[in-house]
Chains A and B, each alone.
Chain A
Amino acid sequence: AQSVTQLDSQVPVFEEAPVELRCNYSSSVSVYLFWYVQYPNQGLQLLLKYLSGSTLVESINGFEAEFNKSQTSFHLRKPSVHISDTAEYFCAVSHDTGRRALTFGSGTRLQVQP
């Protein structure tokens, strides 16, 4: 079995400030890791993913996440947020073999204030 813990349900931050959204996972086998973003009344959009290789992965809109195997973490960071980053962010994990369905965390609401 696998599980995902997102430690913060809400993160308020001012525009242009840095932000970190925390994610820890538990699994007995090797995993793939994902961050999805959900804007109001929309479906989930993939933000970035770790499959293998470099432990630091980046998205096209300035977010990055680092896979830390020893700490079983996959925290999401952005050095300077925009109002448009306001959304719900979900961390997810899947096995790297087998059925590969996603197990999601409970989400973190990022609220960017002017």
Chain B
Amino acid sequence: EAGVAQSPRYKIIEKRQSVAFWCNPISGHATLYWYQQILGQGPKLLIQFQNNGVVDDSQLPKDRFSAERLKGVDSTLKIQPAKLEDSAVYLCASSLAPREQFFGPGTRLTVL
């Protein structure tokens, strides 16, 4: 069974530029999550989708972050414009049952 795929693995941008991350969950997993992991901290939920609907985006900085999940499968997370404090690893996870989440390898973003 293929795992959660994410791309790119690494991205370096200048502040005020825009960037997008892509996630392909495990086939059949209805729930998809985006987490932000700042260096030295645990992951923090940004947004949760159930199929293509948003369940929780209370911690998503909506002035600069946006996310979508088209057709309830792949998802993209966008930052526009990026700030220095957005430097982090962005993790995508998916789950079939609400008891276990499977994580992708993450995208490491560096904002200069």
Contacts and interface: CB of A to CB of B under 8 A. Distances in A.
B105 interface: yes
B13 interface: no
B63 interface: no
Contacts, number: 52
Interface residues of B, number: 25
Nearest to B44: A104
Given A104-B42, A106-B40, A44 B56 contact: no
Contacts of B30: none
Contacts of B35: 102
Interface string A91-114: 010100001111111110000000
Interface in A63-106: 90, 92, 94, 99-106
Contacts of B56: 99, 101
Given A99-B56, A104-B43, A106-B42, A44 B91 contact: yes
B25 interface: no
Interface stretch (A13-21, A45-53, A54-62): A45-53
A28 interface: no
Contacts of A4: 42
Interface in B32-61: 33, 35, 40-45, 48, 55-56
**What 10 pairs across the A-B complex have the smallest Cβ distances?**
A104-B42, A43-B103, A44-B103, A100-B98, A43-B105, A101-B45, A106-B42, A104-B43, A101-B48, A99-B56
Interface of A: 4, 32, 36, 41-46, 49, 51, 90, 92, 94, 99-107
